[in-house]
Structure formats: C-alpha cells, structure tokens
Amino acid sequence: MSNPSTSSGRPRARDLGIPFDGKTGKYNAITDVAGVSVGYSTIIEGESARTGVTIIHPRGKANHDPVFAAWFPFNGNGEMTGAAWVEEGGFLEGPIGITNTHSVGVVRDTIIEWQAKNNALFQKWSCPLVAETADGWLNDMNGFFVKPAHVLEALEKTESGPIEEGSVGGGTGMLSYEFKGGSGTSSRKLPEKFGGWIVGAFVQSNFGVRYQLKIAGAPVGEHLKAHPVWTDGENPFAENGSLIVIVATDAPLLPHQLKRMAKRATLGMARTGSLGGNGSGDIFLAFSTANPTAALGDKNGIVHVQALDNEHLNPLFAASVFATEEAIINAMVAAEEMTGHNGFSVKRLPHEEVREVMRRFGRLG
C-alpha cells in the first residue's frame, strides 16, 4: 500500500507500523482524487498566534465548475457557512475554507474577493463554504491573527500530490485526544470489481478525551496517561473540541448519495474512540468530481448525469469510514509538541509508546 511521507518528510501512521483497513491511493491523501488540490497558510508568531487557514479546491485552482455535494452535521456545536445552499441546491460552487472559530468571517469574505477577481464566480454571487474548529487553548482566537493575505496565500499555493499534515494551516493550533492534533488526510482505492473509484478524506482534528483514544482497535489512550490536558477524574465525559471532515470521490454520486457518504465519516471518527460529546462540533461534507457539466443544462434546461445505483454504494461507504479514521490518526502522528497562548503546552502523540501498546495488543503491523 502506498504511504509516501508528508511533503516535508514527516512520518505518517503507517510508518509506525499501524495497520488500517483498505488499500490506499498513490499518495494516501485526498489529492488522490484527480483535480483536488490543498493549500495552507500557517501562522506561528510570538507567544499567542498558533492558527492558520486551509483551502481545498475540489477541481483545482483553475477549474471553477461546481461539484455535487452534501453535508452532515453529526453534532452542530460548530459552523460550516454555505451549507444551507449546498443542502438546498446540491452543489458546492467554489473552494472550501477551514480555519479557527473566530476567523470564519475573514476567510469567507476573502474567498469571495478572490473569486470575483479571478472570474471564478459560478453565479453573480457567492456563498462560500467555510468550516471551523476552536484552537483557543494554544491560540488567542480574539487576537484575530488570520488576515486576508493568509487566505489568499492558501488559495494560491495549493498542492495536488503529497500534502503536509499535523500543525499546518487551519489545524495549526488544534488538539486531539489531549495530544497535538491538526490537519490530516488519507484515501482509499476500490478494487476494479467495485468500480476502481477513489475516496479521499481530509480532516481538521480537534476533539477527543485521552482515555477514549483507540488506534486500529487497540485501547491506546488508556495506557498513555502522562501529560493530560483537561481530563477530570470526576467528569471523564467532558469532551471539548470539534472535527471537520471533507470527503472527496470521483465516483458519480448524486447529492442524496453524498449525504450518505458524509454520514459515514461519523463511523470513522467513532473508530478512533470518540463518543461524540456535546462540546464537539463535528460537521462533515462529501463531494464528487464526476459529472463536470451537471450544473448547466442544455437550451431546454436538461442535464445529463451518471450515477451509481444504491446497491453499489457499500464499498464507497466503507472507504469513507476507513479514510476518515486514518486521516485523524495521521494528523496526530505528524503533529509536534507545541506551546502557545498563556503558556499552554500540549505534547505530541508519543510514537514509540504507541507502538509498544499496540504490540502488547497484537495490533502492530
């Protein structure tokens, strides 16, 4: 199975010998779906700025054709602007932004400005899709460090091959299971007998309580008790944070089918141990790069699209689950220890200790 290192050479979960279900695409990334590109702007300045912006172009920076899409709010303690129009119209009409909770507005406004200046508006108006998770432990969200220049950097500097993971882009200041979290990705390539389709997942991971963490089925969190962040013995269910998952595929799916795929990201999250706490805003979106002309009909308004029947969706559902699970763990494996706002510090996932626990439970590949 393919598992190239991140673009800077950081390790990934499979480099530790962690086994995951399913065969990956070439880069084991959302960019295995042809056309998809990802851009980051990372802000690490002084003692309190630990944040950034992530941009995903569904068809690449130069192709502005809408894609069929759908969202699913597993737990709505968060934000994904533009989701109402995706739900109503069935299309995603521009790039996806992901950032921290208090920077959604500037990212949204700058995407519109970029679309207008680059003749990238599908209609005369834009309702960008921007999602968030809260990085307020490591980052001073009220410092409003994300500026239009950062958003433009992420929009312009995109990659379509191996991409960076961990403390980059919107994931810079995020935590997962009381370890450093952030940005992560993974993909699955279905066997040809199931269509040969690609499914890629990108996550901004910022959720989970330590004892919940499971990796490839092993109860890792129960055995890594050093340096807890906020777990209170009197309230082990005090889960904070959020998770954003973007699922991409080249399979020809309609919006109602993509919603079903987006729902399956919940299962990928659950496989890493989460119980879906009240304070965790867990919002997922799925899109398909198939049917490139579906948003514009002929002179009579008729569009011609292809779609899989429901009996062929199960392998895609499984791929969505597996890619989401691995993307979350990849985000944690690539992240490094970080100290930020008010001296708050969080450790990275300890690789060798993880390997030892997994070895003990017979789960090391």
Angle (CA) 145 150 151, round 5°: 115
What are the C-alpha distances in Å from 73 to residues 68, 90, 183?
A: 17, 16, 19
**What 3-state class would DSSP assign to 79?**
coil
Q: How many DSSP H helices and E strands does the chain contain?
A: 6, 16
Rounded to an integer, what distance in angstroms lies between the CA atom of residue 364 and that of residue 150? 40
Q: In what order do the strands lie in the sheet with 67-75?
A: 91-92, 67-75, 279-288, 240-249, 198-207, 182-189
Q: In 10 A of CB 352, how many CB atoms? A: 8
253: which DSSP letter? -
Q: Are 328 and 184 in contact (CB under 8 A)?
A: yes
The torsion region of residue 207 among left (phi > 0), alpha (psi -120 to 50) and beta comes to: beta
Q: How many residues does this entry show for the chain?
A: 365
For 137, 232, 347, 350, the CA distances from 226, given in Å and listed in that order, are 19, 14, 9, 10
Structure tokens at 198: 């690609």
What amino acid is encoded at 351 in this protein?
H
Q: How buried is 337 (Cβ within 10 angstroms: 0-12 exposed, 13-18 middle, 19+ buried)?
A: middle
- 71 contacts 285 by C-beta, under 8 angstroms: yes
Q: How far, rounded to the nearest angstrom, does the alpha carbon of residue 229 sit from its chain's CA centroid? A: 23
Catalogue the active-site residues.
242, 280, 282
DSSP 219-244: -GGGG--SS-SS-BTTBTT--EEEEE
